[in-house]
Amino acid sequence: MIEVYNKALDTTIKVNRIIGKIEGDKYGPTLVFFGGIHGNETSGVFALKRVFNNIKPAQVKGTTYGISGNLNALEKHKRYMEDDLNRLWTKQQIKSISRKRVLNSDEKELVALFNLLNEILQTNKPPFYFVDLHTTSSKTLPFITINDALINRKFSQQFPVPIVLGIEEYLNGPLLSYINQLGYVSLGFESGQHDDLSAITNSEAFVYLTLVYSGVLDEK
């Protein structure tokens, strides 16, 4: 368990790798939310903590996870320690890291998340939806980022925010690109500026909308 600080709230919370897991009473999809893949972006972690504190198993279908990203960087409130964790997710890099005898802090985080991701895929039922919550260094309106794939377009068009297509053309090794290549819906959500209070509420709202649009949670 680590302590994560958010400047906007001037509050610290304690989280594990799995912030929360809710197994509904009825069959449904599997949703996986990531927060804090970059350790200086804590709004998603705080939003997920709030949501998982409020939702009860009887309200949902399927299984929903909230996952902390770079634990070491989150605790130190740094984007990353040695290597950007959100640039390591290529098959070649994962293979190379798995063969190393000594790993740096961020590579250890990748291995832990990679193993957890595989466990979730092996022990849960489709359809699968993945959402990675982020914030930006400068002030911005909320927006979605996706690899330009039909399954991503169809799902993301339900949300009332702009969509930026084709991030795979400009970034090498994001987590969502790796997941999308496995054949699953994967969305990134940029909720606002790092230390803006609205970044937390925007992330929380986006999580609830995702739960509704995927059929996990009734709109009411």
How much is the pLDDT for 166?
Answer: 75
Q: Digits of tens for pLDDT over the chain (220 positions)?
A: 999 999 999 999 999 999 999 998 889 999 999 999 999 999 999 999 999 999 988 899 999 999 999 999 999 999 999 999 999 999 999 999 999 889 999 999 999 999 999 999 999 999 999 999 999 999 999 999 999 888 999 999 999 999 998 776 777 889 999 999 999 999 999 999 999 999 999 999 999 999 999 999 998 8
How much is the pLDDT for 172?
Answer: 82
Report d(CA 66, CA 208) in Å as an integer.
12
Q: What is the DSSP letter of 169?
A: G
Report d(CA 67, CA 202) in Å as an integer.
18
Q: Are 137 and 43 in contact (CB under 8 A)?
A: no
* Residue in 70, 83, 76, 40 with CA at minimum distance from that of residue 173: 83
How much is the pLDDT for 26?
Answer: 87
Report d(CA 23, CA 59) in Å as an integer.
10
Whole-prediction pTM: 0.95
How much is the pLDDT for 169?
Answer: 74
How much is the pLDDT for 177?
Answer: 93
**Cis amide prior to 57 (ω within 30 degrees):** no
Report d(CA 163, CA 6) in Å as an integer.
27
Q: Are 3 and 12 in contact (CB under 8 A)?
A: yes
Report d(CA 86, CA 70) in Å as an integer.
9
